[in-house]
Structure formats: structure tokens, C-alpha cells
Chain A
Amino acid sequence: MRVTIVLLLTLTATAAFAKELPFYFGADGQYCKMCFKQNYGDNLYNKKSLGLNPFFGINIKDSPFVIEAGYQYCDSSRTSTLTANEYASGVQVPQMLEPITFRSSLKLKGPHVSLLLLTPRYDVYPVQFFGGIGISHTKATFERATMQLNSFIGKTNRKMEASRSLRRLTLGANYFFTEEFCIRATLVLVNTEKLHAFASDGIQSHFIPEVRPQNSVYYGVGLRWGF
């Protein structure tokens, strides 16, 4: 215990704070996990999707804060076959039409901006942690093509859309190879629960398809250059 304290004190005393460059940019590859409420997309849409997040950051002078903005995009698709008593986007599959095969795809995209707090960075210890809150304006598009209905080929394409401003919480770490270049890992939580999407394709029907996602988590790994 004493040794640890002595080591920490020595490190703090001798280490020099690394200089934060005023701007940075980069891109994250992301793995998004978004679940759906039961009967409202859980059996149609892929919970896991891959995406990209290009970003740009501005260090606020003489403070540990950074304003980071970016654009998030991810998509996925899935083929599923549903039978009677199962629900397709909130609508029960009728007995005479079972089994129905759907090809479903989702897209999430939109800009975001966050205020991040950076921990101090030492020359001898090139890891820096950060975290913060922000807002993103996300547009979700859920498409569902009916491939086969009972014994005949389906031809309907339904589209459900929602566009909302969402809260986001970002946590991450940078590992610096040089003063300018680092790799980073991020964990972003977004309240996509608000993206309750209704049919927006103009197709007339008694039952209106709807998709209700739950909150999502984005795991990202990326590269960052400072200048």
C-alpha cells in the first residue's frame, strides 16, 4: 500500500502533462446493439448492426473539456419467417397467410454533438479516459419486404420511419502512439426507445405496422488525429 502511494506520488510529481492539441478528427467503426419490444420488431429486425462514425473535436482552451461532433450511420438486414399467432410489426399474422417470409432492414443515421470531459494525459502514461453527454438527431428507417405469403410470392414493401432528438452518454479511452495520433475505444448509450416508428409509405391498411425499438449501445473502435 505504502509502495503504491509512493509510486503514485512520484509519478504525479515527475510526470509532465502532455499538451492537448486544439483540434482533432477521426472515425470509429461501430457495432450497434439495439433490441426491440416484443411483437414490435423483435422477430423481424436484426438486433446487431455495423456502422461508421466520422467525428471532429475542438478542445476548449485551458479546460479539460472537448466539444465533439460527428455523424453516425449503421444498418443491418435480416430474413425471417413468421407463422400464425406471431406478430409482424405489431400486427398478428393471419392464419390463412402463414407462413410469411419477410426481408427486413434498418438504418439509423444522423448528426450528434457531445460535451466530453478528458482526464489529464501524462507523457509517461499514454492512456486518457473521457466521458460526457450529448444529443443526436437520429432518423430511423425500418423497411420490411414481404417475400412470400402462404403459397404465393408477396410484393409489398412497407416502410416505417421515425426522426427524433435523442440523449447520448459517451464513455471512452484514448491510447496515444504519438502526440497527434491515437486509437480510441468508445461506448455510447443512446435512448433510441423514443424512435417509435409508424408506417410512412402511404399504403392503405386497417392495421398499421409499427416498430418500437429499445435503448441502444454502440461499441466503437477508431483512429484519431490531432492538429
Chain B
Amino acid sequence: MNDNSLNISELINNQSLAVSEIIDDSLITIKSHLVESLQKTQQELTVLATKSVQTEPVFVPVNTPIEKKDNTSFINPSILTQYDAVTVQKVQSIANNPDSSAKLTNEQKQIIAQFYGI
């Protein structure tokens, strides 16, 4: 009777050890996957941030260019004011800073002129 009970307890111990090993392995695998994907995301973000710094100053409007309409029809003014506040502030500060006049090309100045509707 005692022998049987010892065998059973030994068996249970062995099984529980095996299960805990499987769980540990799984956790390690999940952790390594997570770390890997986080590193990948971080790398992508770094690349994007570098790109956005390189392309400054940003004058590109948020909305897509609208079709040229018949001259006699009126265009809803709200269509033309879809720039975000940050872009507006940035362009205004550049346009009213005498130092930036020399730095920008004529093409960039023309973009500013278009922004101002001139």
C-alpha cells in the first residue's frame, strides 16, 4: 500500500516538473518574440523620425489638391483651410524670419507664396 502511494506521488512530481518545464520554455519563447518585435518597431520608428527630420520644412498640405473648377462657381473656403496648426505656425515663422530668406530656394519661396495665396 505504502509502495503504491509512493509511486503515485513520484509520478505526480515528475509530471508537474515536465509541465513547469514546458511552461517555462513557452514563456521564454514568447519573451524572445516580444523583444524581437519591439526592437524591430523601434528601428522602424528611428528610420521614420530620421526621414521626417530630413524632409523639413514641411509645407505639404494635409488635403489632396482640388480640381480646378469653373471660374464662375464659388469654392467653399473651408476646403482651402485644411492645414494643421503646426504646419501653419511653422510656415508663418519661416516666412516672417529674415534669416530664412537667404536659406530657402526660390521654389520653396514660391511654395510659401502659394500657402499665403499670393
Contacts and interface: CB of A to CB of B under 8 A. Distances in A.
A151 B113 CA distance: 13
A51 interface: no
A38 interface: no
A206 B113 contact: no
Choose among B91, B97, B116 the residue with the greatest number of A CB atoms under 10 Å from its CB: B116
A208 interface: yes
A150 B117 CA distance: 15
B71 A208 contact: no
A94 interface: yes
A160 to B, nearest CB: 10
Given A198-B74, A200-B75, A202-B66, A96 B94 contact: yes
Given A93-B118, A156-B118, A202 B67 contact: yes
Nearest to B107: A152
A132 to B, nearest CB: 31
Contacts of A207: 115-117
Contact of A156 (B75, B96, B113): B113
Nearest to A144: B118
B115 A97 contact: no
Nearest to B63: A204
Interface of A: 84, 88-89, 91, 93-97, 100, 146, 149-152, 154, 156, 158-159, 161, 198-209
17 contacts: A94-B96, A95-B97, A95-B101, A96-B96, A96-B100, A96-B104, A97-B113, A150-B101, A151-B106, A158-B118, A199-B80, A200-B72, A200-B75, A204-B114, A205-B115, A206-B115, A207-B116
